[in-house]
Every structure is written in structure tokens, then in C-alpha cells.
Chains A and B, each alone.
Chain A
Amino acid sequence: MKTRQKKAVRASLVLLLLCLCVLLISLNTGTIRLSPVEVLKTVLGLGSPRDSIVLFDYRLPRLLIAMLAGVGLGIAGCLLQGLSRNALADPGVIGIHAGAAFGLILFLRFFGTLEGSFTIFIPLFTFIGGLCAAGLITIFSFDRKAGFLPQRLLLNGIALAAGFSALTLVLSLRLDEEVYSFAAYWLAGNIWGREWIHVLALLPWLLVLVPYSFFHAGTLNMLSLGEAPAAGLGVNVAKQRAGLLLCAVALSSASVSMAGGIGFIGLAAPQIARRIAGPLHQYVLPLSGLVGMLILMAADTIGRSLFAPAGIPAGIVTAALGAPYFLYVFRKSTHS
């Protein structure tokens, strides 16, 4: 027990260090480069005015959004995998992101713009959309006799994701050309939030939901054993499961509201975390968050700098790396 804790703490320190490295590399690429020394100077208030504008007004908000969204997606994936007892569950694959995209288009219909102070409500709308998708998936994957069917979850989720994406494209095309291309880029996983208000819109969700999930790690351990054992250990299965599912949907919808439909982080992060720290969610949850943060920051940096000047969305980088990993895990998995 003690060694596991030690291992988890050591792994999180290493991950944090890696995140810092990626952060510095990321600032050192792009059209205006900031070397680590310049960054340090600017943070201490000694840099040139140009550097401080570049750092605080342009680079930092985007990086913060990538970090927060990565944490949210990693933890959401971990919660979903634990709840569904399916190691392949991912909020993108099972259609929650597509539902969130639908919510985003609804927001555009109501407010007509993505600028201004109403932006703060975007996560709320994506959450509603994600909730619709999650509700439908649960209904279709639930059997009155057999209970919850983990394999059906994937199949129905994939179909619902196709449906919601189609609906989003139809609705966005009815608005105008620009919205349509925005929606297409969004679905490809483009981190579009670049201002402080976007960070502000995202932050409260994570501040509430991440501690909530950590607090319920013990319950998640018991739920991942299965319905009957968990009930035997004194867990109110229906209530706890609904709470944690809501938490997962809220985390992933809020994250993608600012970062675009980025898939496969919610799949890979928990798997890597479990490899480091074993099955206990007290350790796996925080580690998944850190791994998710590292992956998304790295993907954004790669997409932005390696493919300059056009740049490709971070979601494409994560899909290019994550999908082969998913297929590898899937080929080896024996259930179903």
C-alpha cells in the first residue's frame, strides 16, 4: 500500500515536470518565440512590454485552456471507464462530445455570436447537449433483465455520435457559412478558446467537479467491481452511479466547450495512469488528469509548430496517436 502511494506521488512529480518542459517548449515555438529566460523575466515583471503582451494576452490563455481541458478529459475518461467497466470507454467515442457540439450550436442560435460576456454560458449549453447524448446512450445500452451492457455502450455511442455530428452540421449550415466552417473545425478538435474569458468560463467547472470526483474515488473503486458486490459493500449504487456519470459528462462537455471535440485522451490517459499506479482510483484519478494535461498540451504544441504555418487542430494529433492505441488495446481485449 505504502509503495503504491510512493510510486503515484513520484509519477505525478515526473508528470508535472514534463508538463513544465512542454510549456516552455510550447512558448519557445510559433511566430513569436519566447525563450525560457524571457518567460522568467516576463513573469517576474522585468520583460519587455511586447513580451508581456504576447505572454499574458495570447499564449497563456490558450495554454491554460489546453491544460484545464486535458485534466477534465482525462478524469472524465477515468470516471466513465470505471463506471461502465469498459476499458475502451471514452467521452468522444461514445458520443458525448458530439452531443456537446450540438449544445454549442444551440448556443449560437440563441446568442448569435461567440464573442462577449455571454461566452461564460457556453459550458452550460455544451453540458446540456452532452447530457442529452449520455441520456440516450444509457437508455439504449440498458437492458431490463441484464442491466447495463458495457459492449453495447460503444456500439450505440458510435452511432449516436454520427447522428449528433450530422445534426450539428445541418443546424450550423442553416446559420451561415462561417459557422459551418467553425463547426467543422470544432468537430476536428481545434482549441479555439484564446481569451481570458474562456479560461474563466471553464475554471469553475473544474474547481467543483475535480474535487468531487476525488472525494468519491472510494465509491468508484467499489462500483468498478460490479453492481452486486458494490451493493453488498453498502453503496447506494443507483444514486452514486448517477452522480458520478453526471460529473463525467459535465467535465468532458465543459472541457470540449473551449477545446473542441478532442477524442482519445479520455481513453489513453486512464490506461496509462492505471499502468503506473494499479487499479485504485485514489491514485488513478489524479494521475489520469495529469496525463491528460500532458497529452493535450503536447498535441496542441505539435499541431501548432510542426505543421506551421497552417497548423492542424490538436484533436487530429490526438486521434492520429490515440486511435492506433485504441485499436491495439481492442485487438488484445478478449471480452465481448
Chain B
Amino acid sequence: MKKRYSLFIIIFFAATCLLGVSLFAAVSSGAKELNLPTVWAAVFHFNAELTSHQIIHELRLPRVLGAALVGCALAVSGALMQAVTRNDLADPGILGINAGASLMTALCFALSPGIPYSLLIVFCFFGSVISAICIFWIASGAPGGITPIRLTVAGAILAALFSSLSSGVAIYFDLSQDLAFWFAGGTAGIRWGHLTYLAPIILAAVLLSLSFARPLTLLSLGEETAAGLGGNVPLVRLAAIGAAVLLAGTSVSAAGSIGFIGLIVPHIARKLVGVDYRFIIPISALGGSILLVLADYGARMVNPPRELAISAMVALLGVPFFLFLSRRQRRRES
């Protein structure tokens, strides 16, 4: 146990450093290259008269910090879902939670274009709650109960339905210059105003999930084990699903639907620090931030000045990973 703790602290420290480096790299490069001292000065001695400082302060910083927060939220959400459903393939994107929130965003923009961001978050949250309920209801239909495959297939089809409806709404209400956004998501639109809502909600939800990490670990080992060791299984399960849905809905309201982060990162975290969710959740949070900041950085740098869809970047990484996991799961079953 002692060894686990020290390993966790080393990895936590390394991940924090890596996150710092990638944040700086992402802030300093883009359509206008800026060097490290400028970035440093812009962050800590902001001077409103310099253009470079303004670029950093108004465009780059909120965007990069937003990517970090969204990545963190999606990764933790994925970790929680994998624990609750005991399904290696769970992810808010694959399970269709993101798509429900994104349909809500499309409807909000179509019906009341000037909607304040604080209200949009609430609607997104409702969208993801509705799709979570639908998915669990559909997957629980057969006598066999909820199996990983059933949950994944039901989620994927619901995601297809919702994203199809969102693009229908976008085309019909002529939001279509942003059509790509509904397919792909992006962090370019994040401003300080969004961050003031995003940051407290996401950090609170992550801390909340840390508070029941111990019973969650038991739950992820099996329902009987958890009940036998004295955990309140339904309460923990409900809290974890609630936190996961809140995190997914909030991140969609800021950056659109981005899949596969919640799939990849918790697996890597589990490889690094073992099965204890007290360790997995913080490492997933940091790992998700790093991955999305780097993906955003890559999406901007592949073909400048045009930007690549960020979720396409993540999907190109995530799909091989998913296929690999699905193959491994099959081996284990047979």
C-alpha cells in the first residue's frame, strides 16, 4: 500500500508537470507564434496595450484552459461510467450522453439564439440526463439484464439518432455555417465568460466524485462485494451516474460533443496506478486535460491557419484503442 501511494504521488507530480508544459506550448503557438517570455509576461504582468498580450489574454488562454477543463471533465465522466457499469467500453461519447446534450444545444440555439450561457448549461445537463435514462431503459429490456454490449449498442444508436436530429435542426434553422460544430465539436468559442461557469462546476463535480471514490472502487469490483463490505450500493451508483452526466453535459455546452477521451484516459490511468478509484480519478482528470490540450494544439497546427475538427483528432486515436479493447474483452470472455 505504501508503495502504491508513493507511485501515485510520483505519477501525479509528473502529470502535473506535463500538463503545465503542454499548456504553455499550446498558448504560445498558433497562427501567430509567440515565445515563452511573452507568454509569461502576458499571464503574470498583463499589459493591455500590447497586441500579443491581448491575443494571449482574450483568445489563447481561455481556449486552452477550456480545453483542459473539458478534457478533465470527460475523462472523469468516463472513469465514473466504467466503474458503475463495469464496462471497459463506457464513454460519454459512445454511450450517447454527449449527443443528448448536443441536441439540446442545437435546439437552444435554434429557438432562442441569444440564450445566456448559464441557462445553456442547465439545458445541456437535462439533455444528458434524458439520454442517460433512455439508454439504461433500453438496455435493461431483455431478460439478460444490462450487459456491456447491450449498453454500448443502445448508446451508439441513440447517439446516431440524436446527432442526426441535431444536424437536422441545424440545417432547418440555418445554423449550418456551424454544421461542422455539431459533428465535431471545438474549443475555439470558449471565452472567459464561459470559464467562470465551467471551472466551478467541473471542479466541484470532480471533488464530489473523489469523495465517494472508496465505495466506487468496491462497486467496480462487483455488486455483491460492495454490499458485503457495507457500501450503500444504490446511493453510490446514483451519485456516480449523476456526477458523470453533469460533467458530460457541462463539457458539451462549452465544446460540443467530443468522444473517446472518456474511453482512453481511464484505461491508461488504471494501467499506471491500479484499480483504486481514489488514484484513478485524479490521474484521469490530469490525463484528460493533457490529452485534450494536445489534441487542440494538434488540430490547430496540422494545417494552419485552418483548424481541424478536434473530435476527429481524438477519434483517430480512440477508434483503434476501442477495437483493441473490444478484442481483448472477447478473449477474456471466451
Which chain A residues have a beta carbon within 8 Å of chain B's beta carbons?
A: 88, 93, 140, 143, 145-146, 149, 151-152, 154-156, 158-160, 162-163, 165-167, 169-170, 173-174, 180-181, 184-185, 187-189, 263, 307, 310-313, 315-316, 319-320, 323-324, 326-327, 330-334, 336
* Subset of 9 A-B contacts with CB under 8 Å: A140-B327, A155-B326, A159-B319, A159-B322, A165-B183, A166-B309, A169-B183, A331-B138, A332-B142
Interface pair B172/A307, CB less than 8 Å apart: yes
Given A173-B303, A310-B171, the answer on whether A332 and B308 have CB atoms closer than 8 Å is no
Interface pair A184/B183, CB less than 8 Å apart: yes
A326: chain B residues at CB < 8 Å are 157
Given A332-B142, A334-B144, the answer on whether A158 and B312 have CB atoms closer than 8 Å is no
Residue in B143, B153, B322 whose CB lies within 8 Å of A330: B153
CB-CB contacts below 8 Å: B129-157 with A: 138, 141-144, 147, 149-150, 152-154, 156-157
Complex Cα distance, B312 from A174, in Å, reads 13
In angstroms, how far is the closest chain B Cβ from the Cβ of A266? 13
In angstroms, how far is the closest chain A Cβ from the Cβ of B94? 8
Residue in A187, A189, A313, A324 whose CB lies within 8 Å of B183: A187
Stretch at the interface among B23-31, B32-40, B161-169, B218-226: B161-169
Is B330 in the interface zone, CB < 8 Å from A?
Answer: yes
Complex Cα distance, B56 from A165, in Å, reads 33
In angstroms, how far is the closest chain B Cβ from the Cβ of A98? 11
A312: chain B residues at CB < 8 Å are 168, 171-172
Is B160 in the interface zone, CB < 8 Å from A?
Answer: yes
B182 to A, closest residue via Cβ:
A184
A323: chain B residues at CB < 8 Å are 157-158, 160-161, 164
B184: chain A residues at CB < 8 Å are 169
B309: chain A residues at CB < 8 Å are 166, 169-170, 173
Is B316 in the interface zone, CB < 8 Å from A?
Answer: yes
A181: chain B residues at CB < 8 Å are 176, 179-180
In angstroms, how far is the closest chain B Cβ from the Cβ of A147? 11
Interface pair B319/A320, CB less than 8 Å apart: no
B303: chain A residues at CB < 8 Å are 173-174
Complex Cα distance, B327 from A221, in Å, reads 30
Interface pair B158/A166, CB less than 8 Å apart: no
Complex Cα distance, B322 from A149, in Å, reads 17
Given A146-B334, A156-B323, A170-B309, the answer on whether A310 and B172 have CB atoms closer than 8 Å is yes
Given A316-B164, A319-B160, A327-B138, the answer on whether A336 and B150 have CB atoms closer than 8 Å is yes
Closest 10 CB pairs of A and B: A163-B319, A331-B141, A323-B161, A166-B315, A319-B164, A316-B168, A166-B312, A158-B156, A159-B322, A312-B168
A170 to B, closest residue via Cβ:
B312
Given A310-B171, A312-B171, A334-B144, the answer on whether A162 and B319 have CB atoms closer than 8 Å is yes
B174: chain A residues at CB < 8 Å are 310
Interface pair B312/A155, CB less than 8 Å apart: no
Interface pair A320/B315, CB less than 8 Å apart: no
A333: chain B residues at CB < 8 Å are 142
B139 to A, closest residue via Cβ:
A331
Residue in A146, A151, A263 whose CB lies within 8 Å of B160: A263
B308: chain A residues at CB < 8 Å are 170, 173
Interface pair B171/A163, CB less than 8 Å apart: no
B183: chain A residues at CB < 8 Å are 165, 169, 184, 187
Is B306 in the interface zone, CB < 8 Å from A?
Answer: yes
Is B259 in the interface zone, CB < 8 Å from A?
Answer: yes
In angstroms, how far is the closest chain B Cβ from the Cβ of A170? 5
In angstroms, how far is the closest chain B Cβ from the Cβ of A132? 14
A189: chain B residues at CB < 8 Å are 164
Is B311 in the interface zone, CB < 8 Å from A?
Answer: yes
In angstroms, how far is the closest chain A Cβ from the Cβ of B61? 26
Interface pair B164/A320, CB less than 8 Å apart: yes
Given A163-B316, A169-B184, A336-B149, the answer on whether A188 and B171 have CB atoms closer than 8 Å is yes
Complex Cα distance, B330 from A65, in Å, reads 41
Q: Mark B109-126, 1 if CB is under 8 A from A, else 0.
A: 000000000000000000
B154: chain A residues at CB < 8 Å are 327, 330-331
B326: chain A residues at CB < 8 Å are 140, 152, 155-156, 159
Q: A158-B153, A159-B323 are in contact. List 5 more A-B contacts (CB 8 A).
A: A152-B326, A170-B312, A313-B167, A316-B167, A327-B161
B141: chain A residues at CB < 8 Å are 330-332
Q: Mark B73-98, 1 if CB is under 8 A from A, else 0.
A: 00000000000000001000010000
A159: chain B residues at CB < 8 Å are 319, 322-323, 326
Complex Cα distance, B146 from A331, in Å, reads 11
In angstroms, how far is the closest chain B Cβ from the Cβ of A113? 21
Interface pair A169/B142, CB less than 8 Å apart: no
A330: chain B residues at CB < 8 Å are 138, 141, 150, 153-154, 157
Interface pair B311/A166, CB less than 8 Å apart: yes
CB-CB contacts below 8 Å: B300-318 with A: 303, 306, 308-309, 311-313, 315-316, 318
Complex Cα distance, B163 from A320, in Å, reads 10
A331: chain B residues at CB < 8 Å are 138, 141-142, 154
Complex Cα distance, B168 from A19, in Å, reads 25
Residue in B152, B158, B316, B320 whose CB lies within 8 Å of A170: B316
Complex Cα distance, B266 from A115, in Å, reads 47
B306 to A, closest residue via Cβ:
A173
* Residue of B167, B322, B327 contacting most chain A CB atoms (<10 Å): B167
Complex Cα distance, B165 from A188, in Å, reads 10
